[in-house]
Amino acid sequence: METRDFLVQGSAQEPYKVTFRKDGSNLRAYCTCPAGENGMYCKHRFNILEGSDKGIVSPNGADVQVVASWLAGTDVEAAMRAVREIEKEEARVKSLLILAKRALARAMLS
C-alpha cells in the first residue's frame, strides 16, 4: 500500500490534511475539512486527483502528480468522470439560460 499526505490551506486558519491511499485498484482519499469529515465531496481531494497543487502548503507538491497517476482504472476515476460530464452540462445549460433570459427581456420590450 502506498500513501501520500498533503497539507492544504482552506478557509480555516489551520491547513487541512489530505491523505491518499492506493492499494491495488483501490484508491481512498480522506480530508480533515468539515465536508470531508462528514463523508461529503470536497474540492481539496478532487483538485489533487485532477493534478492541481492549488492551496498545498506542505513541501511535497510534486507528489500531486504521483497521486493523480493512481487514479487510472479505479472506481474513483469513473465517479470523477461522471462529475466532470455533469459540470460540462451545467455550463452548457447556464449559457442557454442566459440566452433564454435575454430573449425573454427582448420579448417583454417589443
Is 22 or 44 the residue whose CB approaches Zn ion more closely? 44
Near Zn ion by CB under 5 A: residue from 6, 22, 27, 36? 36
Q: Grid coordinates representing 26?
A: 483501490
Residue count of the chain: 110
Count of residues engaged in binding Zn ion, rule: CB under 5 A: 5
Cα first-last separation, the chain: 67
Residues 80 and 64: their CA atoms lie apart, in Å, by 16
Write down the least CB distance from residue 79 to Zn ion, Å.
Answer: 16
Near Zn ion by CB under 5 A: residue from 44, 56, 70, 76? 44
